[in-house]
Structure 1
Amino acid sequence: METITSEESYLVSQAQKLRSTDAASAKAWLITAKTLHPTSFDILFEAYKLEKDSKNFEEAAKCFSNITICRALNFQSQNAELWNEVNELTNALRAPENEITPAQEFYVKMFQHVSYDVQHKILLLTVNNAENSIHQCKLLLLILKRFPQAAITHSPRLLEMIADGMKQNPQKYQEMLVEEALPLIYHKTPELPPVLVCRLFTISLEYYIRQIIDDENKCDNTEIWKKIFQVLMLCGKILRWETFLPFNKTWGQNVYWDKLIEIVSISPAGSTQVLFYATTLFIYSLHCYIKNCYTQSEDAGINHVLVEGFTVDWKMEAPDVQSMEPPQISLTTPTSKDISKAFVHAAQCWQLLNTEQFQRDFSKLLLTLPLAAWISRFLFDLAIYFGHQEEAKKLMSEMIVTSSLVQNLQILSLNLLQGNLTLQGFECIVKIIDELPATQGHILEHLTLKVPRHMIFIPLTQKALIQYCTKAIINTLSRKLYEPNCPDQILGDLLVLLQLEYPRETLMAEQIFTLITSRRAFAYRLFTTYIITIDFIEEFLHIWHAHNEDFAFDLSPTQTGTSVCRVGTRGADKGAREDFRIIIKQQILRANEVLTTLMANFIQQEHMQLARNMFGVAVTDDVGFQ
């Protein structure tokens, strides 16, 4: 610390006495003082304060520069008054342009008159004397913003400090890295250790994923993914990786997957570039999948759930799905196409990243990212996609229930994956029918295909869910057709259910009518309540006319205390024949009723009868059904 002479003190005291009353005389004293003692800190600082009071930006800048150039500014001295000025200066320079106070405006304008070299020196000297690492980082950011050409020199130190600071205040340092530091080095990439680069990418990825999750309905996801890919490209540039692709919303995941496979083919086993490229593509595909499946989509306004589809050969037993190749995914709605692609590419990336060469590092990386909820739902769907029944059961037991409708649908799908519908699966059907969503939707076109196995993304709409539940019951009941003396009750129930997708279900309907015709009798007390399809009614009329010598129908509801109304044409029972015509006529008049509503009512009202017919058990409302 320099020694202050009595002469210097005298000259400064004379200037101080005159500063508030006679600035010109005070300045004269200081000019003399600087001539006699050109490197005296007290004299130079007093001259600076005089120019500051006069709002003389240019002269104040010269004085402040002299303090630096002459090395009179001893940063280790911790002179309180000096450091107050330095802090005010740096705070003013960091403040947003539209938030600068009148007092800060002086420092900003003064700094503009300081030479480039001196500006750099002043800011750089303050970094090491900052009170903590967060302030050091802020000052380094200020240097990089003021002196972009210094990015290569100073950014490594800044980035290392930010990475270290994550242990103290993760949120603050994350934001500083992503929002301030990285944009300053996109065009001037420094040399960095690979470990630090990977750490910085992981920090950035976590920050952006939290933005997507926390502000799902507010933030622009497209812009966020552009930034994620921008950070990925920056890391690749620093580490001289094979160039990946920038983000483009119009490109499908298959474009990125093809590029990834190309890079995999020329990379050594366990390559870090493949790990990070594949991880980014996995999370992007996963986000697209989860967003479209479990949130309101912009165009359709409905959610979708991955479920087991049906095969066209309803006579076949379910194959051993665990030994088969992954099933195809059938398209049900315009949105389901995008969902399917995203899911398949997420599955492909997941398989790649869980190979021996990447599994350990990928698992560690996932632990640092807030993806638990997404991964849980994805892994369950992945398990049923590959037919891994036991794994799917375990994952379902660990999932957090956010929708009882979705949960019952997933249990039903898993039940169908295992083979025949069980009582548990049927209970889920009844629960699904009881909590149908408000959206009507449409009947699906590809619920049943002629393939060994397929899956669909079913939209959560009334018609689609009723159709799915109806088809599951049909597939179970239809097996009874091959049992000796299949009861009329089952034939009738099947005819009711087949109406929904008729004429797609023509073959089974024809088989049922063939059985009815061969028996020359048919009793079904629910006929007047539920059978309204014109083709079916016409078929009953045809049977009646074609066998008027030897056929008997029992189509009226059975009422306690009354005899069964038996309609036949043998003999002279004209009243019975008239009753049959009335029944047929009233059913024809109901032909335009909404079939999905009819099916839902049938399943709700007749669920105990259906359970008895399918599973051979007596079921009451207080046992098995709520």
Structure 2
Amino acid sequence: MSAQKDCEFLVKRARELVSDDPCAAKAWLITARTLYPTDFKIQYEMYTIERNAEKTASAGRLLYDMFINFPDQPIVWREIGVITAALRSDCQDKHAQFLRGLFETLPGHVQCDMLLKATEQCLNTLEKAEMLLLLLKRFPDSVVQHGVNLGESLLEAETSENLETPVNCFRKLFVCDVLPLILNNVDMRLPASLLHKYMLKASEFYVSYVTRGPAAEGSTQGKTLPGSQEGGVLKSPGMSRGPQRCVIEGLSEKSSMVSEPWERLLDILAVVGARCDWQGDKPGQRGYVELLQRVKELCRYLSSLEGETRARCCSQAVVCAALVLFRSAYLYVSAVQPALFPGVNALSSGPWILLEDLSCVYSDVELEKGANKHSHKKRKLADGREKTMSSDDEEGLGKGRGRHVVVNKTEMPGWAETLESFRMARESWDLVHSNDSLETEFNKICSSWKTDSWLWFRIFLTDMIMYQGQYRKALSSLQQMSVFQPPQAGQSPSAQGSLEQHRALIQQASCHYALGEHRLACEKLLDVINGLVPQNQDPAKSPEDLGKTKSKPRKGNDLRLLPCTSKAILPFCLQLMLACFKLRAFTDNRDDLALGHVVVLLQHDWPQGEALFLKAVEKICQQGGLQYENFFNYVTNIDMLEEFAYLRTPEGGRIQLELLPNQGMLIKHHTVTRGITKGVKEDFRLAMERQVSRCGENLYTVLHRFCINEKIIIIQSLP
């Protein structure tokens, strides 16, 4: 007991002297250590004095002595924990730098042994993994012994935690930190099956990381990612690239960041490909475009391969094609619906919708030769059009199966990159479905990654199915997609719900039209129009706008990317309704209601529809009249009014026009006096004069009112 008291006295005396006379304090402790070499308190006090004085070398020697002589002391492991925390940290303050320097003074084998034993002291799985990772980074030779075990422990921890997303702290450490150490170690000899497993784990993480949407904002499920994305759209040719920011629970914000995820994925792919003896990897050709080309070449002779060689090539083709597919689909969807990916610096504002191109709704009408009866009006309308046909600002890209995707490049500056991404994604999809073996392997990946729950990928698949002309399948996909629509950044839930509902309904209407289901198409369109607010400005076009719309006539099976805005949606709806009624209006059978609807709808985009309107006039003349009592409610186009007024004159043929409400009842009374008939004509003249005064009304408002008020009769007009 007296020896213990003597030790305590010596330590106490040293503490009293340390502030005034450090040398004397050290002398007292050296004396104490000489007398009592096995007393831990004396050595720890000596270490504390040197550490507080930030004397790296002497503090390191004392820490080494304590680590060797007193390995069971908790205070020693507390000190080691503080030092290893500084080693793992990016902090650059003076104290952290001192602690790192202290550790560097230790012999290499002691550093390694210290880190290993510090790892054993950790109870938290994540902390233990980070400690072991520190060992692997500082001592690459230890990767052979500990690398795979660390990777497997992280994947097992992810499974045991029942995490709902691969974007979590365990997977991030494995993919971004552990896996590169394993793959880049030349002494590692791993079976191809394990490399393939690790490749898919990394791919799932990076794809999920980049495509993480706003639905996860603010959510905390286990160690999931509640953060958001920032930076540019990840680069395809001509596209900007930037880091993505994710705050992953259990990791610091800086540790959570993953820069250049698509490039990192290519790096892993190159190493795995070399280790697995994949075919066709050429130096200097490391891009997704080249990757797709190599997969195409591989698939050409895949059927001639057998056994292990065939299995290896199948594995290569599926992994490579899947990466190109998901990256290209992401780039396409991030351009057409950027709100799904907060922080994405899209090359064009969105959202955009892929729809049937209706450019031919006017241009495919051939007037009968020799129809000169109304040539005066034809010449008058044509004069105004010919002056605006010199420019064509619309381009098409992405040819395939005889189809184009048409965009207005002035509205979508990144149209070339967007359509190129769409093309590459479609080609990749076709490749993984070109062979039963490839399709089976690809379906396994999709099932494991739960791609059915990826809204962004379903948007791409729906557009691709529409491009392929599988409209019935597209309708089914659209109905499923409407079940889960995420909120859009900066918008209220109701506003976003309306916008997304419009998107789905318009695409459904487009599909129904392509299938010839015109009534269903109009029902969807009218539901959309009911939720739109017509533009305040009149839709009259400038010569430049007319030049855009008067592009080259197309075959009628093209698609168009259209902005999902009221300004663009309402005109498309009117055009599609016109396309539906046009076929019915110009059949051999008389259908005055359909013909009247066509006349009303032709007012939009005037004088684009001049040829079709003149054909409608010819039809009226051939059948001897027209009964359409809604004429004066919705027809305000001055050229049309002038033409109908002309039809009532002797020169126009005295065509019988029943355009006033209840006018037909008066005319059908064959016993009426000449005065009453004269009154009907006078009513028509007065109505026409009043109608001319309405020519300045906002045409969009008139047509919007037509769609709302006449919804029932419009739908009933179609079979």
Equivalent of 1:272, from 303, 315, 328?
Answer: 315
Equivalence map 1:407-446=2 (5 Å): 407-422=504-519, 424-436=520-532, 445=549
One-letter code aligned to 1:410: Q
Q: In structure 2, what is the Cα distance between the partners aligned to 1:62 and 1:246?
A: 52
Residue in 2 aligned with 1:257? 292
Report 1 or 2 for greater relative contact order, CA contacts < 8 Å, sequence distance ≥ 6.
Answer: 2
Q: Is 1:367 aligned to residue 447 of structure 2?
A: yes
| Equivalent pair of 2:136/2:143 in contact (CA under 8 Å) | yes
Equivalent of 1:93, from 80, 84, 87?
Answer: 87
Equivalence map 1:268-347=2 (5 Å): 269=310, 270-296=313-339, 301-310=349-358, 325=401, 327-332=403-408, 334-335=411-412, 338-347=417-426
| Equivalent pair of 2:196/2:272 in contact (CA under 8 Å) | no
Residue in 2 aligned with 1:191? 188
Equivalence map 1:175-214=2 (5 Å): 175-178=172-175, 180-181=177-178, 191=188, 193=190, 194-208=192-206, 209-210=208-209, 212-214=211-213
One-letter code aligned to 1:436: L
Q: Is 1:353 aligned to residue 432 of structure 2?
A: yes
Once the two structures are TM-superposed, the CA of residue 51 in structure 1 deviates from its matched residue by 4.1
Moved more, 56-65 or 205-214: 205-214
| Equivalent pair of 2:11/2:42 in contact (CA under 8 Å) | no
| Equivalent pair of 1:12/1:46 in contact (CA under 8 Å) | no
Q: In structure 1, what is the Cα distance between the partners aligned to 2:11 and 2:153?
A: 43
One-letter code aligned to 2:78: N
Q: In structure 1, what is the Cα distance between the partners aligned to 2:30 and 2:715?
A: 108
Once the two structures are TM-superposed, the CA of residue 125 in structure 1 deviates from its matched residue by 4.4
Q: In structure 2, what is the Cα distance between the partners aligned to 1:325 and 1:81?
A: 73
Q: Is 1:82 aligned to residue 87 of structure 2?
A: no
Q: In structure 1, what is the Cα distance between the partners aligned to 2:319 and 2:284?
A: 13
| Equivalent pair of 1:331/1:337 in contact (CA under 8 Å) | no
Q: Deviations over 1:523-543 (max 9, x none)?
A: 433332222333323333443
| Equivalent pair of 2:355/2:561 in contact (CA under 8 Å) | yes
| Equivalent pair of 2:148/2:182 in contact (CA under 8 Å) | no
Q: In structure 1, what is the Cα distance between the partners aligned to 2:576 and 2:63?
A: 84
Give SS of 2:521's match: helix
One-letter code aligned to 1:605: N
| Equivalent pair of 1:190/1:238 in contact (CA under 8 Å) | no
Q: In structure 2, what is the Cα distance between the partners aligned to 1:546 and 1:299?
A: 59
Q: In structure 1, what is the Cα distance between the partners aligned to 2:614 and 2:658?
A: 20
Q: Deviations over 1:495-539 (max 9, x none)?
A: 111222343333332222112233554443333222233332333
Q: Is 1:227 aligned to residue 273 of structure 2?
A: no
Residue in 1 aligned with 2:271? 237
Q: Deviations over 1:441-494 (max 9, x none)?
A: 998838995425232233223343333333333333333345455144433222
Q: Deviations over 1:166-220 (max 9, x none)?
A: 3234623123235544677897677362444444444444444245324597422
Equivalence map 1:102-113=2 (5 Å): 107-113=99-105
- Which protein has the larger Cα radius of gyration, Structure 1 or Structure 2? 1
Equivalence map 1:120-131=2 (5 Å): 120-128=112-120, 130-131=122-123
Distance 1:109 1:521, change over 3 A: closer
| Equivalent pair of 1:558/1:564 in contact (CA under 8 Å) | no
The unaligned stretches of length 5 or more in structure 1 are 1-5, 317-323, 616-626
Equivalence map 1:15-94=2 (5 Å): 16=11, 19-21=14-16, 23-29=25-31, 32=34, 48=47, 51-52=50-51, 56-66=55-65, 72-73=68-69, 78-94=72-88
Q: In structure 2, what is the Cα distance between the partners aligned to 1:190 and 1:417?
A: 60
Q: Is 1:392 aligned to residue 474 of structure 2?
A: yes
Once the two structures are TM-superposed, the CA of residue 435 in structure 1 deviates from its matched residue by 1.0
| Equivalent pair of 2:337/2:351 in contact (CA under 8 Å) | yes
Equivalence map 1:558-577=2 (5 Å): 558=662
| Equivalent pair of 2:353/2:563 in contact (CA under 8 Å) | yes
Q: In structure 1, what is the Cα distance between the partners aligned to 2:210 and 2:73?
A: 43
Equivalence map 1:89-168=2 (5 Å): 89-97=83-91, 107-116=99-108, 118-128=110-120, 130-131=122-123, 133-146=125-138, 155-168=147-160
Distance 1:361 1:82, change over 3 A: same
| Equivalent pair of 1:163/1:199 in contact (CA under 8 Å) | no
| Equivalent pair of 1:303/1:459 in contact (CA under 8 Å) | yes
Moved more, 369-378 or 407-416: 369-378
Q: In structure 1, what is the Cα distance between the partners aligned to 2:299 and 2:648?
A: 71
TM-score, L = length of structure 1: 0.76
Q: Deviations over 1:262-308 (max 9, x none)?
A: 56568864443332222222111221233233345856544222233
Equivalent of 2:464, from 363, 382, 398?
Answer: 382
Q: Deviations over 1:299-346 (max 9, x none)?
A: 654422223344558799xxxxxxx94743232564365544333322
Give SS of 2:718's match: helix
One-letter code aligned to 2:530: D
Q: In structure 2, what is the Cα distance between the partners aligned to 1:201 and 1:55?
A: 46
| Equivalent pair of 1:156/1:191 in contact (CA under 8 Å) | no
Distance 1:472 1:293, change over 3 A: same
Once the two structures are TM-superposed, the CA of residue 431 in structure 1 deviates from its matched residue by 0.7
Q: Deviations over 1:588-612 (max 9, x none)?
A: 4444444333222222222233233
Once the two structures are TM-superposed, the CA of residue 29 in structure 1 deviates from its matched residue by 2.4
Q: In structure 2, what is the Cα distance between the partners aligned to 1:247 and 1:596?
A: 52
Moved more, 496-505 or 23-32: 23-32
Give SS of 1:547's match: coil
| Equivalent pair of 2:403/2:558 in contact (CA under 8 Å) | yes
Q: In structure 1, what is the Cα distance between the partners aligned to 2:91 and 2:652?
A: 96
Residue in 2 aligned with 1:620? none
Q: In structure 1, what is the Cα distance between the partners aligned to 2:34 and 2:348?
A: 82
Q: In structure 2, what is the Cα distance between the partners aligned to 1:439 and 1:303?
A: 19
When the two chains are superposed, the root-mean-square deviation of aligned CA atoms in Å is 4.6
Using the aligned pairs only, state the percent identity.
20
Residue in 2 aligned with 1:510? 614
Equivalent of 1:174, from 168, 171, 175?
Answer: 171
The unaligned stretches of length 5 or more in structure 2 are 17-23, 216-227, 235-242, 245-258, 303-308, 340-344, 367-399, 486-499
Once the two structures are TM-superposed, the CA of residue 116 in structure 1 deviates from its matched residue by 4.7
Q: In structure 2, what is the Cα distance between the partners aligned to 1:439 and 1:206?
A: 44
Once the two structures are TM-superposed, the CA of residue 390 in structure 1 deviates from its matched residue by 4.4
One-letter code aligned to 1:113: T
Equivalence map 1:594-609=2 (5 Å): 594-609=698-713
One-letter code aligned to 1:342: S
| Equivalent pair of 1:133/1:165 in contact (CA under 8 Å) | yes
